[in-house]
């Protein structure tokens, strides 16, 4: 069981924002780590949960990749380093990654500007997604309504043409018979 700050887990989106890399790059990097034997904690929905040590592993991969390593070789090196030292700290960089923790007081929770910005961005993204979904649903309903009106008009016109044809045949056939 993790204790203290190590108990806090983060989802992929939060980690990618904090590391300033794309979601797809983070996923490629974590898949490479998993192929080399690194194990991420997952929730009930099978989503990866990143703890400080996991984030430091990804940060170490980014550092190695900036030095010219491929994703695969940097993942292998990080996994080897993890087995040698539980935390990815070096003498030259004792703290590869530091989270800004919210301050919890009796009166509430205090957030830094970057934490607040990230929270607002997540709320805005959720609201935009919901609004987009509503717009698509409204568009679909309107299209269905218009198609229904068009179909009704087409059926009505076909009936009119059919009836007109019967009347004409009736008149023509009477002329021929006489």
Q: How far apart are CA 30 and CA 48, in angstroms?
A: 9
Question: Can you give the pTM of this predicted structure?
Answer: 0.46
Of 52, 75, 99, which marks where a domain is finished? Answer: 99
Q: How far apart are CA 35 and CA 76, in angstroms?
A: 9
Q: Is 168 inside any structural domain?
A: yes
Q: Is 51 inside any structural domain?
A: yes
Indicate if 92 and 14 belong to the same structural domain.
yes
- Give me the pLDDT at residue 124, please: 81
* For residue 92, pLDDT beyond 80: no
Query: Domain of 43: which CATH number?
Result: 1.10.1660.10
Indicate if 10 and 90 belong to the same structural domain.
yes
Q: What is the DSSP letter of 101?
A: P
Q: Is 105 inside any structural domain?
A: no
List the one residue out of 24, 35, 85 whose CA is nearest residue 60: 85
Of 99, 128, 143, which marks where a domain is finished? Answer: 99
Domain span including residue 64: 4-99
Indicate if 66 and 17 belong to the same structural domain.
yes
Q: What is the mean pLDDT of residues 92-96?
A: 36
Indicate if 21 and 82 belong to the same structural domain.
yes
Which of the residue ranges 48-57, 68-77, 107-116 would you say has the lowest mean pLDDT?
107-116
Indicate if 119 and 74 belong to the same structural domain.
no
Most confident by average pLDDT, 16-20, 78-82, 86-90, 142-146: 142-146
Our count of domains for the chain comes to: 2
Of 67, 99, 131, which marks where a domain is finished? Answer: 99
């Amino acid at each position: 069981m993790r204790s203290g700050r190590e108990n806090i887990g983060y989802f992929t989106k939060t980690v990618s924002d904090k590391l300033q890399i794309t979601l797809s790059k983070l996923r490629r990097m974590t898949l490479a780590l998993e192929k080399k034997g690194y194990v991420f904690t997952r929730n009930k929905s099978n989503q990866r949960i990143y703890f400080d040590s996991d984030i430091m592993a990804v940060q170490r991969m980014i550092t190695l990749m900036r030095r010219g390593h491929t994703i695969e070789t940097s993942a292998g090196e990080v996994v080897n380093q993890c087995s040698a030292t539980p935390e990815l700290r070096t003498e030259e960089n004792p703290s590869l990654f530091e989270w800004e923790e919210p301050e919890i007081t009796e009166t509430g929770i205090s957030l830094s500007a970057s934490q607040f910005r990230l929270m607002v961005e997540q709320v805005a993204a959720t609201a935009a997604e919901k609004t987009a979904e509503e717009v698509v649903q409204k568009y679909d309903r309107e299209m269905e309504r218009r198609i229904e009106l068009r179909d009704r008009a087409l059926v009505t016109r076909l009936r009119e043409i059919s009836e007109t044809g019967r009347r004409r045949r009736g008149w023509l056939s009477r002329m021929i018979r006489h």
